[in-house]
Structure 1
């Protein structure tokens, strides 16, 4: 029996968020355009097989929406992130993976489609995937909570 339930959809949405963070990181690192990175991820990452392990198929619409939102609203998102960080650590000084994560999460927080608590939980899980042993997930939770309260105060 194929799992086409809500659980499978959640996995696809979570995978799309992880891929969006990776794509934003790669865009910043390589200087490649959003279109080039989007095509590369959709053609070569979604459902690809590496070392006999198939990657989860991502929700393409969510992936595209997060990428486009992060790029088109980057200045606003970066300003929100800066306000959530301590003064000594502006966004330009933080780990590039975290910067990509905050931009992806910020893209969702500045849209009303997903409740802020869901966005925070999902991106804390992404942080756990990148930093399984570190303190980063708690840091991500605190920063995203601050960003969510700024972006959508009516939800708190």
Structure 2
């Protein structure tokens, strides 16, 4: 049985990456909660930062997360949603706007799109991989492929130089 705790000799880069991954997962869960439960941004941030990150609740262990990074993602999506949703809409199959797709997938795409647009210090491929992995954690069918396709399309439009594969705008 593996433990989610770092060993004392873990290097700080891996620890930071793991904490960012946990922050992304928590952000997706928070965005989902805000979308479905219609909870406010402040209430959701407070609830997650106080009760979930690095805690065990009802047998579910929540990994330690970079709380600042988590907050940046959730606040960034809330602040930029009018910019984010149309980009996702354009990358989805016609007739399936972002409001029509599964709410968990919607949260994944919104978090990743925010990062692609506003976190230029993080390589686009890293962002896409992290969020496709989150999609795989929630879905077993087509959703991870949908996430990959949508995010790749958005990255090609807004971060083509970062992809390093000759993609054009």
Same-fold call, TM cutoff 0.5: yes
Instruction: Please give the secondary structure, in 2, of the residue aligned with 1:110.
Output: helix
Work out whether 1:61 is the aligned partner of 2:52.
no
Work out whether 1:23 is the aligned partner of 2:30.
yes
Trace 1:3-152 onto structure 2 (pairs within 5 A): 3-52=10-59, 54-111=61-118, 112-131=120-139, 133-152=140-159
Conserved? CA contact 1:109–1:116, under 8 Å:
yes
Root-mean-square deviation (Å): 1.4
Conserved? CA contact 1:127–1:136, under 8 Å:
yes
Mapped partners of 1:67, 1:4: distance in 2: 27
Structure 2 unaligned spans of 5+ = 1-6, 164-169
Mapped partners of 1:136, 1:97: distance in 2: 10
Relative CO higher for 1 or 2, CA cutoff 8 Å, sep ≥ 6?
1
Conserved? CA contact 1:109–1:151, under 8 Å:
yes
Count of residues paired in the alignment: 155
Structure 1 unaligned spans of 5+ = none
- 1:4 to partner: Cα distance: 4.8
Q: Give the 3 Å change call, closer, same or farther, for CA 9–86 of structure 1 in structure 2.
A: same
Offset from partner CA, 1:45-101 (integer Å, 9 cap, x none) = 101113555321011111011111111111111011001001111111100101111
